[in-house]
Amino acid sequence: MFTGIVEEMGVVKTLERTLAGTRLTILASVVMEGLAVGASVSLNGACLTVVSVGDREFSVDVSPETVAVTTVATLTAGAPVNLERAMKLNDRIGGHLVAGHVDTVGTIRARRQEANAIVLTIEASEEILRYCVQKGSITIDGISMTINEVTDRTFSVSVISHTAKATTLGLKQPGDPVNLESDLIGKYVERLLQERGQLPPKPAPLIDRDYLRKKGLI
């Protein structure tokens, strides 16, 4: 579990794609403290397992499922990434409970300056928007954010100066993809109500070429 409070921005050193899978090597400093093989790290919001640790760098293996449903495939050497180590139970939770299980990829559609904040409007699928509520929480590239507004196709967030400087959100522009994870609480509430017959079940996904592509099947 994570909190969505990014500890530092690391840098992709290498990205290796082979028949066996994808391996990322990340240059970092803050998150290296106490990091060991087998530990979990949130990388742009995706929970990944450390497979090797070196001098100011670590490597993670990325499964085909993670490649299919996140922005990992778009990373290149030199790209900045948001990093957070797994939370400790005796720490303050500055953001919200984040599983590191990315639901889907959204697209930034607009960016504007509003006083000391950057307002980002992000287009997302119904899969994620069904759990979005005004003043609720959402994770964007591993960052815990508060939702400003929700429409039938988008939601917006305000990025304060500190967050813009300390994470990759300050670099994002219209057209850029971002990893999205909705609040866990909404998913559990929905499932409980469905089990009690107080909500209809989630509709079955439309199996088309876009769905198969996202799942890495074509």
Chain mean position to CA 53: 23
Q: How many CA atoms lie within 13 A of 124 on its CB side?
A: 29
**Closest to 120 in 3D by CA, of 66, 168, 84:** 168
Displacement of CA 52 from its chain's centroid (Å): 22
pLDDT, residue 218, reads: 62
The pLDDT of residue 93? 81
pTM reported for the whole predicted model? 0.85
Amino acid symbol at 85: R
Residue corresponding to tokens 């971002």: 178
Q: How many CA atoms lie within 13 A of 109 on its CB side?
A: 12
* Alpha helix stretches (DSSP H) within 70-169: 126-129, 161-166
pLDDT one digit per residue (tens) for the chain, 218 residues: 899 999 999 999 999 987 778 999 999 999 999 999 999 999 999 999 999 999 999 999 999 889 889 999 899 999 999 999 999 887 878 888 898 999 999 999 999 999 999 999 999 998 899 999 999 999 999 999 999 999 999 999 999 999 999 999 999 999 999 999 998 888 888 778 877 776 666 666 667 766 666 655 66
Spell out the domains of the chain, with CATH numbers in brackets. 8-85 (2.40.30.20), 104-195 (2.40.30.20)
